[in-house]
Every structure is written in C-alpha cells, then in structure tokens.
Structure 1
Amino acid sequence: MQVDFTSRLLKKEFDEQFKKAPGGKNIFFDAYDEFMDQKIKNQEWKPSTEKRYKNIKNILKEFEKDRKYKLTFNAINSKFHAEFTDYCMGEKQHVNNTYSRNFGLFKTFMLWAFKNGYTYNEEFREMQKVPKVIIPQVALQKTDLEKLMQHDFKNDRLERVRDVFVFACITGLRFGELSLVSKTSVKDDLLHLKEEKGAEKEVRTIPLNDLALYLLRKYEYKLPLIANQKQNEYIKEVFEKAGYTHEVERIVIRGKQVERIPVLFKDRVSTHTARRTFITMLKRDGKSDKLISKITGHKDLKTLNQYYQVDDDAKKEAVAETFKINFNTVKKAE
C-alpha cells in the first residue's frame, strides 16, 4: 500500500536525516506524541495503559542518550533491536516479562506509524519479543483467609485493609472494580457489576457468599477503599501482624539467567493476589474455566489460566486422590 507524504512530513524526514531539525526536534518522537494523543482522545486506553506508553517513551529517550543511538524510523533495524534488548535487560535490569510487554507495546506504536505514513520501514515486524515465562506467584488458601478473618489486629486501619482484601479474594474483583460496589448493585445475593468504561461489555453477576455479605453490611455497602499504592503497602503489614513471617522463593528470569531469591512471604502479597486467589481456589475445587470466566470477566481462557497457581500442596492432593491404591502385598512363600 502506497501512502503519499505530506510536504511537512517529507521536510521533517529530510531535516532529520541531515541533522537539520530545528531545536533538536525529531520526527520519531513527534509521531510518538501524536500516536499517544490520538489514542487518548479516542478513549482507547485505560489510565494504566497510558502510563505504560509514557514509561516506554522515557525508556526510549534514556536509551537514545545513554547508548548514543539516534532514534529515527530508518534506525529501527536489527542493530536497534539488539542494542535496545541489551539496554533494557542489562542496564535497566528488566525481567523477561516486563521487557516482552514493553517491546510488544513499542511494536504497536511502530505499526501505527507505518499505517499513518510516518515510515515505510517494516523491519520491526520481524523483531521477536523475548518469550514470556510463567513465574510462580502467591495464591492463598481457605485456611489463610480464615486466619486473616480470625486475627484481631487491634487497629482499625489494618482491619479495614484486611476486609477489603478478603472481599476481593472471595469475589475475584480487580482492585479498580471495588469502587463500583454499592447497595443498588446488590440484588438476591448477587453483585451486578457494570464497568463505567466499555459500553459493549455485558453486566457481570458475582455471587456473594455469607462472608462477602457480612463485609458489605459492616461498611453499609461502601467498602473503605484507599489508593492502590497504600493498599499494597498496608496489606504487607496485615500479613506480618497475622504471623506470616516466613520466607518463600522468588524466581527472577532475565534472558537465559534464572535467579532464585529468598524473600518474605508478606512481600509477595499485593492487591492482585486477591484475584489470583479467587481463581486458584475455584480451579482447585474443580470448577470449570467457563464458569470462572463468567464471574471474573475474562474473555481469553489462556489469560485466565495464567492466574491459576499450582503449589506443592495441590500436587500432593492430586496424586494422593488419583492414586488411592491398596498396596497390602501378599507375602511370598519361602
């Protein structure tokens, strides 16, 4: 497909190649800014997505400065790919999954630039992302939730943080969805959830068990929410006070290198642990992916299954239940 250059675009490209762009202007970052502006105005991104693209722009700026690699559309080639990968995973210490996600978003920008006539260079299409790896994450069990609920924190702040976290664990809601809960959204022990963004999304119905209803009534159907960052900070304190002081192993993968780092259990817990716990507990109880996805809102079952954490206890239970074999052997005659 041939795209006509505008005179402005052609002049900028010419100036860039011959280092005559006024005031250090660079068509590459001009295009990036236009790309972001268009996506934001078209309401295509969530705030978290916008934040990620801003972060990638900062990384590209730092890469250009630190590696002295002038970024132009013609410079997006195999050399750039090697240099940028080495920079992100070496100097920036990005793990595989972080780099894979960021480079995927970068390629989305490049595709936009190609379709909008900023470049005819298609080498970016052949650039492969570092493969994502499945890293074991923390998921709680029923006994953990019981332990949290039975603990007296003697502190209203920690009790509220505990209650919000446990409510998320037993409903599977994302932290950002908790603000949508209200008395009018609850009917017949079901939470009817309609996201504010995405008119095309159907209303989800989430069953509320006795504990979920108790927590809602405790706060008159208005959960005591705080900023996600503070919730993540305080939930670690909740687990520490509840006696979770043991260490677990954290696996970090950069390229082909695998590091196993001992960290405190509480430091592996975040608001996202709640959603992972909900899915893992239902999966371990034999509930179908289709049923779970109807509650969580997942469209892609592959994504849903990435939340499912198989720990050593689950392995032991599976083998013990499957291989219940009577092994009273007959003694051989001597």
Structure 2
Amino acid sequence: MTNFFATEFATDFFNQYLSYLIEEDMEATVKFILRRDLENKKGEQPLMLVIHLASQRKVMSTGIKLIPDLWSADKQEIKDITAKQKSLLEKQFGETVPQKNTLLQYQDEILRLRNQVRQIEESFRLNETPYNLEMLVEKIKESKKPTIKKSEPTDLVFDFIDKYIEENELSRVKGSMVVYKSLKKHLKNFQDERRSSIRFEDIDYSFMQSFQNFLIKWKVVNPETGHVHTLYNISIAKQLSTLKTFLGYATFKGIKVNPGYKTFKIKREKLEVIALNQKEFDALYNIDLKKNKRLDQVRDIFLFSCVTGYRYYDLRQLRREHIKKDEIRLTTTKTKEPLVVPLTRISREILEKYEEMISPIPMISNQKLNKYVKELCELAKINDPVEIIRFKGAKRHATLHPKHELISAHTGRKTFVTLSLSKGIPAEVVMKITGHSDYKSFKRYVEVDEDRKRNAMSMAWD
C-alpha cells in the first residue's frame, strides 16, 4: 500500500515538474535584427522581428527600414541621436534620414510588436490552450497593422493637387491654376532627386527648407536656343506660398498633414512697380497715331486701363449695360466683387470714340496687347533705363532695360494707382476703386512715387 502511494506521489510530482519545465520552455524570446544582406540603394536595411520558441525560430518583417547608424543592437532600440549627428548623417544619406517624429513612430512600433507577442502568449495560457511557434506567428499576422511607411498612398499628394485643380478650375480666373500645375511639376522633380515618395506626413520644416534649396538650384536648358531657365527668389517664394496654401486646404479636407510646415517662414522680396509717370502718360496720350489704326486702338485700350484701374480680363468683359451716366458698375473677374469706377474726361473720350461699336472698347487678345503696347511705348519714346534686380538664393542679378520693354497690359492698372496717389487722391479711395482689400499688397504703390515724395517735401519745406 505504501509503495502504491509513494509511486503515485512520485508520478504526480514528476508530471507537475514536467509541466513547469514545459511552461518555462514555452516563453518566447523576442529580438530585432537588421538584415544587412538586403541593404537598398539608399543605404537602408530592413528591421526584422526574430521569435524563438521551443527550439524553433521564425523571422518576420516589421515594415521598418533603417540606416544601420540609427539602430542599437545591444539596447534593441532606435538610437537617440543629437542634431549634430543627424546633420552628419544627412550629409551622407540626404533625405533618407527620417525626421524625429518618424523615428519615434518606429520605436513605438517596435514596443508594440514586443508587447503583442507577450499578450498573445498570455491569452493562450489563460485559455489553457497549448500552442507552438506556428500558432503564435499566425496570431501576429492576423492582428498585424499596416506598416508605417505604407499608411499613405504613394501618389496621394499629386492626386490631391489634380483634384484641387479640377475642383477650382471652373470657379477661378483662367490661368490662375497654372501655379498649382507648376508646383506639381517641381514637386515631382524634387521627388525624383530625393529618391523617396513625397507624403503629407513628411512635409515639415526640414522638407520646406530642402524644397527651397532644390528650387534655388533648379535649371532647365532649352536644347534649341541654349537658354538656361532658372527660378529667382520671387518665383520660389510663390511656389512655397502656394504649397503652404495647398497644405492648409488638405488639412481642411480632413487629410492628416504634418503641422511642421507652418513654422517655415517665406522670405519675400519687393517687385519693382513699373508704371507710367505723368510725363510719360501725356506723351502717350498726345502721340499722333492717325495713320496707324492698330496702335491707335491699342493706345485707347491701354489708356482706358490707366484711367479706370481695370485689369485686362475686366476690360474684356465690359459691356454697354455696365456703363451708367457718370460711372461704370462692373463685378471684377478676380475677386468677384462689384466695383464702381467714376468716369473721367479721358475715359469718356474713349467711350465716345467707339459708341457705334457693340463693345465699348476694341479689345484684342492679351498676348497681342502685351506685344503691341511695348511697340506703342517705344514709339512714344518711353525709353528711360530701368534697373531690374533679382536674387537667386543670396546671389544678386541686375539687368538694365529701356522702360518700354517692361510695359505690359497690367501696367495700366499700376499707372492708375500711382498717378491717382500722386494727384492727391487718398489711398483708401484708390483702394475702393481698384478693389484692393489688403493694404499689405497695396502698400508698394504708396512707396513708389518719387515725384509725389519730392512734391510733398517741397511744399513742406520750400
């Protein structure tokens, strides 16, 4: 009897001990390693999850790719590098070095995978379910989240630009969406140079800085003429400003955008205001064009803009019904705002000259007007030299032009503003006529008129 109980006790003890050993052996070990044999052209290596269980081994992808310098094998974590170390890595690997917030996401993913293995094992134990490595891996695959890098479709930024253009093209002035098409082209070229997809989540301060440097270096050579086309700071600022506007719109539409771009400040340079002074306006008005009907009509179109402040597309939509007794009432094409412009002696003269026509003035295409008005101003001897200064990065470029070469259809509107101010019309009145709602953009006209400055000084001191 004693032998029976002794045998039973021994058997029970052995089974418990065996169960203990099995439980100890069933604890999986988790490790992360870089696959150095799978390094890509950017110098990145895939980070792999290695699970050991009961003498078996399984290697799984984490979806993360890292430069070896960013991984600590001993600590099993991503290195916390300093700004200086990051700068040195960027010199070697360029845009391949992830931003800090991306590295933090990677570290979170590593911790999540480690904890997930423990949670799945604990679930098996609580349910008293025997398991092996194959079952553990299957459970990981079932609950696997999309990898961080593929959280956003590759072409989402460019697809969204196309969508933005499509949604706004009909409601905006013809040609106003050209800048967005240009932005898309430059972003595509930038993406090709950096050899990695552009995503909304990547467009932070560092991205804006790198994109600006890319635009400064950008150039295209015309194979036929050999002319090198580059971008000056004014055009670069326009591209960066458009990108910021676009990112704000994307945020409004519910797309998750990296907010880091907002801290990037765009440096804006002043454009020269090309406008006629009173002497040049009078020369144009008094030139005899009886034998040149083409330029005579061009002069009337241009002078009408000079005395009303209308843009080309406002002049083009002008109809007889817009002209009242002493004023013109017209909703502008750009701002969609109704404006009232009082008629003056010269604007009345031009309207009376063409009163037999259906249209109030003999409009031509914008391209032809820009071409012919230069010819007209050269004939009127508007030839004073004008220095145009542009910057490309920190480099200064200065060119000298006879003034007639710089005059275009839009010069008429600028002339109206500068001459109105020089004649003593208050700035707020001129803004009301032209439809300027922002004094910031109007201010450059107030600063430009040197004659007005001299007259004011003369009246005050002499």
Cα deviation 1:109-157 (Å, max 9, x = unaligned): 222323434334222222222x222233222122222211221243221
Task: Name the residue aligned to 2:199.
Answer: 72
2:218 matched to 1:91? yes
Q: Measured at CA, do residues 280 and 120 of structure 1 come closer, stay the same or move farther in structure 2, by a change above 3 Å?
A: closer
Check if 1:100 corresponds to 2:227: no
Q: 2:158 aligns with which of 29, 35, 45?
A: 29
Equivalent residue number for residue 132 of structure 1: 268
Q: Which secondary structure state, in structure 2, belongs to the residue aligned with residue 97 of structure 1? A: helix
Which amino acid in the other structure matches residue 39 of structure 1? Answer: N
Check if 1:238 corresponds to 2:376.
yes
Distance 1:56 1:120, change over 3 A: closer
The residue aligned with 2:225 is none
Deviations along 1:267-313, one digit per CA (max 9) or x if unpaired, are: 21111111111111111122112211221112222222233452443
Q: 1:307 aligns with which of 442, 445, 448?
A: 445
Contact kept in structure 1, 2:383 and 2:402, CA below 8 Å = yes
Q: Name the CA distance, whole Å, in 1 between partners of 2:453 and 2:265.
A: 34
CA distance in 2, matches of 1:26, 1:181: 43
| Residue segments in structure 2 that go unaligned for 5+ positions in a row | 1-145, 220-229
TM-aligned CA deviation for residue 51 of structure 1: 1.9
Between the aligned partners of 1:281 and 1:120, the Cα distance in structure 2 is 46
CA distance in 1, matches of 2:286, 2:415: 18
Q: Relative to structure 1, is the Cα distance of residues 263 and 197 closer, same or farther in structure 2, using a 3 angstrom cutoff?
A: closer
Structure 1 length as normaliser, TM-score? 0.81
Check whether the contact 2:203–2:257 (CA below 8 A) recurs between aligned residues.
no
Change (3 A) 1:105 1:16: farther
Aligned 8 A contact 1:232 1:271 in 2: yes
Query: Deviation of residue 67 (structure 1)?
Result: 4.7
Asked if 1:277 is matched to 2:419, the reply is no
**Structure 1 Cα separation of the partners of residues 451 and 152 of structure 2:** 65
Q: Is the 8 A contact 2:422 2:449 kept in 1?
A: no
Q: Does 1:123 align with 2:260?
A: yes
For residues 16 and 243 of structure 1, what CA distance do their matches in structure 2 show?
Answer: 65
Structure possessing the higher relative contact order (Cα contacts under 8 Å, 6 or more residues apart): 1
- Say which one has the larger Rg: 2
Question: Does structure 2 conserve the Cα–Cα contact (< 8 Å) formed by 1:189 and 1:213?
Answer: no
Match of 1:319 in 2: 457
Cα distance in 1, alignment partners of residues 174 and 164 from structure 2: 15
**RMSD (Å) for aligned C-alpha atoms:** 2.7
**What is the identity, as a one-letter code, of the residue corresponding to 2:281?**
L
Within the alignment, does 1:287 sit opposite 2:422 as a pair? no
The verdict on how the C-alpha distance between 1:66 and 1:292 changes in structure 2, with shifts beyond 3 A counting, is same
Match of 1:169 among 302, 306, 323: 306
> CA separation of 1:134/1:198 partners in 2, compared to 1, >3 Å: closer, same or farther?
closer
1:20 is displaced (CA, Å) by: 12
Segments of 5+ residues of structure 1 without an aligned counterpart are: 1-13, 325-334
CA distance in structure 1 between the aligned counterparts of 2:195 and 2:271, rounded to whole angstroms: 34
Partner Cα distance (1:152, 1:16) in 2? 72
Looking at structure 2, the residues matched to 232 and 270 of structure 1 have their Cα atoms a distance apart, in angstroms, of 5
Q: Distance in 1 between matches of 2:306 and 2:257?
A: 49
Q: 2:278 maps to what in 1?
A: 142
Q: Decide whether the 8 Å contact of 1:251 with 1:261 is kept in 2.
A: yes
Higher strand share: 2
The CA distance in 2 between the partners of 1:282 and 1:105, in whole Å, is: 32
State the number of aligned residues.
Answer: 304
Q: % of aligned pairs identical?
A: 28
